[in-house]
Amino acid sequence: MKKIVLGLAALGLAVSAAQAQTYPQRPITMIVPFAAGGPTDVIARIVGDHMSRTLGQQIVIENVAGAGGTTGITRAAQSQPDGYTIMMGHMGTHGAAPALYPSLKYDPTKDFAPIGLAAGTPIIIVAKKDFPAKDLKGFVDYMKANGEKVNMAHAGVGSVSHMTGIFFSSVIKTKPTMVTYRGTGPALNDLMANSVDYMTDQIVNVAPQIQGGTIKAFAIATPERSPALPNLPTTKEAGLDGFEVSAWNAVFAPKGTSPEIVKKLNDALVKALDDENTKKRLLDLGGVIPTGAERTPAALQKLVESEVARWTPVLKAAGATAE
């Protein structure tokens, strides 16, 4: 009996090695857990476009929005670990989510095969063009004076826009009214239409509108200014201490995906990040290109572990929870 079991196990290994050898044989689905047009979607389409060329198969983006990105990530985590379903996660879905969803159906540190970091995304405080403040100090004063009369847009509890919005509110001690969207793509449309007041969003989503003057930007929450928005002051320069945060987006596969397939996917991602045109598209939007050392699956695993540890106390202290 034992010989049969060993034989079957060896056969199974041989089959998966053969599958990995010929992978990919058909299009790959990349689940983006937010609505089309937002930062996660934009990054997925930019890197996915070049990854398709290296892999020789189309990477098809599937937007599965809801619950701050956890709906899409849950579906991706439960998909077959055959390399044909991957996902674009980020600091919210793979950092904040455990603190905000006690019954979360996945563990960011255990239920995935990390592929690699795709882009860093500094956070920017943006407001509708009609917002009655001309700089960050005026904005904060207005927020303090008007509390819940001010509406903050976000992409669902646990999204980057939500968690950084909570962080911002705890720093300036205000409690705005939250308005939930299926992504900050749709939220930005309402900001441009002056029908929601402000949000803290990833630079790759709002840079074109800031450059075009269709929305207001008060500051970027990083120690240095962004080359994509050289005239936008940092929060520190604008007089606000204690609010510095940069998000990140990264590619994951479900746990159990074979090391050979993980390597092929990581190789395609690294080639995309080294491609001049792909780099330019990300940099023009203010994205930050990961360094070589930051691009490995092991580096991403370490980042996820440290981010879950970092954000859990911050969000619990802010009393934020989805349930």
Per CB under 6 A, residues contacting ligand MLT are 34-35, 38-41, 69, 90, 92, 155, 159-161, 183-185, 202
Of residues 55 and 315, the one with the C-beta less far from ligand MLT:
315
User: Residue 68 CB, nearest distance to ligand MLT (Å)?
Assistant: 7
d(CA 1, CA 86): 37
User: Residue 67 CB, nearest distance to ligand MLT (Å)?
Assistant: 12
User: Residue 248 CB, nearest distance to ligand MLT (Å)?
Assistant: 11
- Work out the angle at residue 34's Cα, subtended by the Cα atoms of residues 97 and 55, and round it to the nearest 5 degrees: 105
Of residues 184 and 258, the one with the C-beta less far from ligand MLT:
184
Record the tokens describing residue 47, joined without a space: 């890197």
User: Residue 9 CB, nearest distance to ligand MLT (Å)?
Assistant: 41
Of residues 127 and 262, the one with the C-beta less far from ligand MLT:
127
Of residues 77 and 187, the one with the C-beta less far from ligand MLT:
187
User: Residue 188 CB, nearest distance to ligand MLT (Å)?
Assistant: 9
The residue nearest ligand MLT at its CB is 38
d(CA 47, CA 228): 19
Of residues 35 and 140, the one with the C-beta less far from ligand MLT:
35
Of residues 161 and 278, the one with the C-beta less far from ligand MLT:
161
Of residues 90 and 264, the one with the C-beta less far from ligand MLT:
90
Q: Say if strands 28-32 and 151-154 run parallel, antiparallel, or are unpaired.
A: unpaired
Distance of CA 265 to the CA centre of its chain: 18
User: Residue 69 CB, nearest distance to ligand MLT (Å)?
Assistant: 6
d(CA 292, CA 273): 10
Record the tokens describing residue 302, joined without a space: 């370490």
User: Residue 161 CB, nearest distance to ligand MLT (Å)?
Assistant: 3
Residue 24: cis peptide before it, omega within 30 degrees of 0: yes
Identify which of 307, 297, 246 has the alpha carbon closest to the alpha carbon of residue 269.
297
Alpha-helical runs (H) found in the chain: 2-22, 39-55, 70-77, 97-100, 136-146, 160-172, 184-192, 203-212, 259-274, 276-284, 297-317
Q: Say if strands 215-220 and 177-180 run parallel, antiparallel, or are unpaired.
A: unpaired
